[in-house]
Amino acid sequence: MKNIYNMKEMDIEKWKRMGSIAFLVFLITHFLVLQAEGQTLTVHAPQQVSVGEQFRLQYTVSTQNARAFQVGDIPDAFEVLMGPSTSSQSSFQMVNGHTSQSSSITYTYILVANKNGTFTIPPAQINANGRTITSNAHKITVSGSSQGGAQGGQPSQQQSMRAAGSRISGSDLYIKVSANKRRVYEQEPILLTYKVYTLVDLTQLRGDMPDLKGFHTQEVPLPQQKSFKLETVNGRPYRTVVWSQYVMFPQLTGKLEIPSITFNGIVVQQNRAVDPFEAFFNGGSGYVEVKKQIKAPGLEIQVDPLPSRPADFSGGVGKFSISAQLDKQQVRANDPISLRVIVSGRGNLKLIKEPVVEFPKDFDRYDAKLTDKTKLTSAGLEGSMVYDFLAVPRHQGKYDIPAISFTYFDTAERKYRTVRTQPFTLQVEKGAPGSAPADYTDREDLKLLDQDIRYIKTGSTQQHAMGHFFFGSTAYVLSLIVLVLTFVSLFIVFRKRAIDRANIAGRRANRANKVATKRLKKAAKLKDSGNASEFFDEVLRALWGYVGDKLNMPVEQLSRENIADRLSSHGVSTATVESFISAIDECEFQRYAPGDPKGNMGKVYDKAMTAIGEIERLRK
Tens-digit pLDDT profile for residues 62-104? 887 788 888 888 888 887 777 677 777 765 555 555 555 667 8
Cβ 409 vs Cβ 351: under 8 Å: no
Provide the pLDDT for residue 150.
Answer: 35
In this structure, is residue 76 part of a structural domain? yes
Residue 557 pLDDT > 80, yes or no?
no
More confident residue, 436 or 555: 555
Provide the pLDDT for residue 447.
Answer: 45
Residues 286 and 360 grouped into a single domain = no
Provide the pLDDT for residue 610.
Answer: 80
In this structure, is residue 495 part of a structural domain? no
| C-alpha pair distances (Å), 197 with each of 181, 449, 475, 528 | 22, 88, 76, 29
Provide the pLDDT for residue 101.
Answer: 64
Q: Which of 256, 272, 304 is the last residue of a domain?
A: 304
Provide the pLDDT for residue 574.
Answer: 80
Cβ 154 vs Cβ 136: under 8 Å: no
More confident residue, 284 or 405: 405
Residues 335 and 286 grouped into a single domain = no
Residues 280 and 317 grouped into a single domain = no
Which residues span the domain enclosing 598? 504-619
Average pLDDT of 23-48?
65
pLDDT tens per residue, range 307-319: 999 999 999 999 9
Residues 317 and 279 grouped into a single domain = no
| C-alpha pair distances (Å), 106 with each of 49, 279, 283 | 22, 13, 9
Q: What's the chain's average pLDDT? A: 78
Average pLDDT of 361-371?
89
In this structure, is residue 456 part of a structural domain? no
DSSP tag of 274: -
Provide the pLDDT for residue 385.
Answer: 94
CB contact burial 388-413 (16+ within 10 A = b; e otherwise): bbebbbbbbeebebeebebbbbebee
Residues 110 and 239 grouped into a single domain = no
Residue 3 pLDDT > 80, yes or no?
no
Average pLDDT of 445-470?
57
In this structure, is residue 596 part of a structural domain? yes
Residues 287 and 332 grouped into a single domain = no
Q: Give SS3 for 45.
A: coil
Cβ 416 vs Cβ 307: under 8 Å: yes
pLDDT tens per residue, range 132-150: 888 889 999 988 754 433 3
Residues 169 and 100 grouped into a single domain = no
Compute the distance between CA of residue 580 and CA of residue 617 in angstroms, rounded to an integer: 14
Residues 65 and 131 grouped into a single domain = yes
Residue 324 pLDDT > 90, yes or no?
yes
pLDDT tens per residue, range 235-248: 888 999 999 999 98
pLDDT tier, 444 (very low <50, low <70, confident <90, very high otherwise): very low
Compute the distance between CA of residue 271 and CA of residue 288 in angstroms, rounded to an integer: 6
Residues 174 and 298 grouped into a single domain = yes
Residues 281 and 349 grouped into a single domain = no
Average pLDDT of 562-577?
79
Provide the pLDDT for residue 154.
Answer: 39
More confident residue, 234 or 266: 266
Cβ 241 vs Cβ 229: under 8 Å: yes
Provide the pLDDT for residue 34.
Answer: 44
Residue 184 pLDDT > 60, yes or no?
yes
Residues 270 and 226 grouped into a single domain = yes
Lowest mean per-residue pLDDT among 268-277, 335-344, 404-413, 426-435:
268-277
Percent of the chain with pLDDT strictly greater than 70: 75
| C-alpha pair distances (Å), 573 with each of 348, 570, 578, 617 | 45, 9, 9, 11
pLDDT tens per residue, range 468-479: 666 777 888 888
Residues comprising the chain, all counted: 620
> Is the peptide bond preceding residue 84 cis, with omega within 30 degrees of 0?
yes
CATH of the domain at 275: 2.60.40
Average pLDDT of 24-31?
54
Average pLDDT of 256-271?
88
Provide the pLDDT for residue 522.
Answer: 82
Average pLDDT of 518-525?
82
pLDDT tier, 602 (very low <50, low <70, confident <90, very high otherwise): confident
Q: Which of 274, 304, 334 is the last residue of a domain?
A: 304
Highest mean pLDDT (candidates 261-275, 356-370, 517-531): 356-370
Provide the pLDDT for residue 343.
Answer: 95
CATH of the domain at 65: 2.60.120.570
In this structure, is residue 552 part of a structural domain? yes
Residue 172 pLDDT > 80, yes or no?
yes
Average pLDDT of 324-332?
91
In this structure, is residue 518 part of a structural domain? yes
In this structure, is residue 393 part of a structural domain? yes
Residues 325 and 428 grouped into a single domain = yes
Total structural domains in the chain?
A: 4
Q: Which of 237, 231, 79, 97 is nearest to 157 (CA)?
A: 237
pLDDT tier, 389 (very low <50, low <70, confident <90, very high otherwise): very high
Residue 152 pLDDT > 50, yes or no?
no
Provide the pLDDT for residue 4.
Answer: 45
pTM of the model: 0.44
In this structure, is residue 473 part of a structural domain? no
Highest mean pLDDT (candidates 105-109, 201-205, 387-391): 387-391
Residue 458 pLDDT > 90, yes or no?
no
CATH of the domain at 581: 1.20.120
Percent of the chain with pLDDT strictly greater than 90: 21
Q: Which of 420, 436, 452 is the last residue of a domain?
A: 436
